[in-house]
Chains A and B, each alone.
Chain A
Amino acid sequence: MILQALIMILAFSVAGLLTQAAITELTDVAVRREVIGEANSLVEEWRKKGAAHLPLTIQKRTRLWRGFEYNIATPTGGWIAGDRRLVLSAPGWRTVQADKTVKILTYTQRLPDGTWLSVGQDLAVERRQLDAVARSLWISGGAGVLIALGASYLLARRTWRRIDQLAQTAAKVSSGNLNVRAPVRQTRETDEVDDLARAFNGMLDRVGRLVAQVRQVTTDVAHDMRTPLTRVRHRLERLEEAAKGDPALSAGVRRIDADLSEILRTFDAMLQLAEIESADRDMVGADLAEIAGRVGEAYRPDIECSGRRLILNLRPAPVAGEVELLSQMVANLLENALRHTPVGATMTLSVDQGGGRSRLVLSDDGPGVPAHLRAAALAPFGRLEASRNKPGSGLGLSIVAAVAARHGAKLDLGDARPGLIVSAVFPVHAEKAVIA
């Protein structure tokens, strides 16, 4: 809109300046023609009535004010009659600066007796004319610009509003609601915005079908695997009971059960990842500090028993979210730090808010993650090679990333110098994030 206005004003200015230049040129030509005409008529007078009469004619014409200034000078440039400012003794055109403000365009010619006749016109007249022209140009130009902008604004406003609706629909979709659709006008005549909205809705239909399919597959896989796994687990349990008298057998059974649990954990994490990413549920207002505090205190004894330290630095910070998922996010971050820092490390979990954002930050003073591997650390199964032999599904940070994305939070891995710093910055939705 502003650019449009600037372009329009520039165009009008250029047109105005060109017009003004043309008019200046034309006016100049006209002035010169008038001056020559006046000079010729005086020469004619001189011829008819003689040199002695010319000063009288000049006086008369000055008195009558025909819009000209006159002067007669001796061949050596001495004043004879007329305007003392125009005592000139060389032929041709010149502009005489009479005083600070007055400029006189003067034509000088030698009369047959050698005297100099000068006829001039005060350019102030011309300038006033030009100013009047310029003023009317600017006024009409300004009005033109305003009218043009106003008209285009009125015409474009409807289109903008529709594009804005489309943008709002897209925003709702990115926050996980796949049931919204962009409005399409039901009129016979449609335009590009309607085409865009229709294409957008078509895409949403397709995405919705795919998500539903993924959910169905997830549910089916979950069911088809979990039911037989339940039997395996129960048989193991009974086997362990039966093997009570046989320590070797019962230890073996317990090992199988532990392995099975590990598989199930990974399996659950995968299903959960799919669920978080495809969910569309309403968020509730919660306090990030309360969640971080609860989870932090739950892990504190474990962290301390392992010879590490945990510092909590929590200030109330509202979020709109799912408390269970956010709790798990904090838990996964702490477990990740526990797994990847050496004994003696310190972890600092902080929550604060500012600038319309709520921030959750976990930093440690462990070995950190090199910058080029940070993106990989967030990808599913993206365990860094060095930690592949350590326990863990490799999905912990992916779940953190999915939970962050689900809440519209920006997740960053950085260098804590030394160590890893993970921050999640949540938007605060005023209408949802009222702390209950």
Chain B
Amino acid sequence: MRALDSMTSVGGPLQLRVLVVEDDDVAAEHVQDALAEIGHEVVVVGDGDAALDQGARGGFDVLIIDRMLPGLDGLSLLSALRARGVDAPALFVTAMGAVSDRVAGLEAGGDDYLVKPFALAELKARVQALGRRSLNTRPATLLQFRDLTVDRVLREARRGERRLDLLPLEFRLLEYLMLAMGQTVTRKMLLEQVWGFRFDPHTNIVETHISRLRAKLDQGDAEPIIRTIRGAGYLVGG
């Protein structure tokens, strides 16, 4: 039952303290509004040096850092914060979308990377995912929602007593959605995390896989396990 205990903190609304380091006022305002709407507390800083002071004081659950900043640049800022023991998850927001840029961001201690122009819904989902990670680090081995059980050790899913016949990829997709229970997961996040695709396919591969998974999962239920959040992504629970 320990696994079930550790699961309880997975769902539910998160209230995070978020530091936004962004020199473009309009963009910063949009981000601040969007995050405040879902209950987060946001502190905006316009340049790298001020962000180092602010961030080093600690108390933030998530850092959102633009890579191009006046003063200290984003990469150096995060390296400096990491050197001072700040371990809050960090999301880089950048106009530079090349693979090498992302690798540099991850090497500097970044946890996620979002290329402009991103959708606010995308940003919100990423912040939720990072916040969840910072609050709940122990991964549960058994995930449950209604009568759906996902056993991450045996790699099998059941509805009640009935074992679901899932392909390995469908299991991974379901597992990822269940781990994020209560939070919206975007199409892009699924592409990155489940398929390892950093590019944007021109087809509906996520939608088609989700609908196949649903067909196996729901089998005539009135209320589907996986809900579609229009313009944002998918959601289990919440």
Contacts and interface: CB of A to CB of B under 8 A. Distances in A.
A229 B117 contact: yes
B202 A265 contact: yes
B231 A240 contact: yes
Contact of A281 (B100, B116, B208): B100
B121 A230 contact: no
Contact of B203 (A324, A325, A335): A335
Contact of A298 (B27, B121, B205): B205
Prevailing SS type, chain B contact patch: loop
Interface stretch (B41-49, B155-163, B192-200): B192-200
Interface in B19-76: 24, 26-27, 30, 33-34, 68
A229 B95 CA distance: 10
A302 B208 contact: yes
Contacts of A59: none
B97 A268 contact: yes
Contacts, number: 111
A294 B193 CA distance: 13
A234 B27 contact: yes
Contacts of A415: none
A435 interface: no
A219 B115 CA distance: 13
Contact of A305 (B98, B115, B200, B208): B208
B96 A335 contact: no
Contacts of A86: none
A335 B201 contact: yes
A331 B68 contact: no
Contacts of A324: 99, 196, 198-199
Given A327-B196, A331-B197, A231 B95 contact: no
B117 A264 contact: yes
A331 B195 CA distance: 12
A299 B195 CA distance: 11
Interface in A269-327: 271-272, 275, 279, 281, 294-295, 297-299, 301-302, 305, 322-325, 327
B116 to A, nearest CB: 4
Q: Which of A237, A325, A335 counts the most B-chain CB atoms under 10 A from its CB?
A: A237
Interface residues of B, number: 36
Q: How large is the interface on A (under 10, 10 to 19, 20 to 34, 35 or more residues)?
A: 35 or more
A264 B119 CA distance: 12
Prevailing SS type, chain A contact patch: helix
A128 B12 CA distance: 113
A235 B26 CA distance: 10
Interface string B216-228: 0000000000000
B200 A299 contact: no
A123 B17 CA distance: 117
A301 B199 CA distance: 18
Q: Which of A230, A238, A295 counts the most B-chain CB atoms under 10 A from its CB?
A: A230
Given A275-B98, A302-B208, A392-B202, A294 B195 contact: yes
B229 interface: no
A251 B143 CA distance: 38
Contact of A231 (B30, B33, B34, B198): B30
A338 B203 contact: yes
A223 B68 contact: yes
Given A226-B117, A298-B197, A391 B205 contact: no
Interface in A325-340: 325, 327-328, 331, 335, 338
Contacts of B24: 227, 230-231
Given A268-B97, A302-B205, A227 B120 contact: no
Q: Which of B26, B96, B202 counts the most A-chain CB atoms under 10 A from its CB?
A: B202
A328 B30 CA distance: 32
A143 interface: no
A429 interface: no
A230 B196 CA distance: 25
Contacts of B199: 324, 327-328, 331
Contacts of B99: 275, 279, 281, 322, 324-325
Contact of B118 (A230, A268, A299): A230
A226 B116 contact: yes
Interface of A: 219, 222-223, 226-227, 229-235, 237-238, 240, 254, 264-265, 268, 271-272, 275, 279, 281, 294-295, 297-299, 301-302, 305, 322-325, 327-328, 331, 335, 338, 391-392, 396
Given A281-B100, A335-B203, 16 more contacts: A219-B96, A222-B96, A223-B68, A223-B95, A227-B116, A230-B27, A231-B27, A233-B118, A234-B34, A238-B33, A279-B98, A302-B204, A322-B99, A324-B199, A328-B197, A338-B203
9 contacts: A226-B115, A227-B27, A230-B30, A231-B26, A234-B119, A279-B98, A294-B195, A324-B199, A331-B199
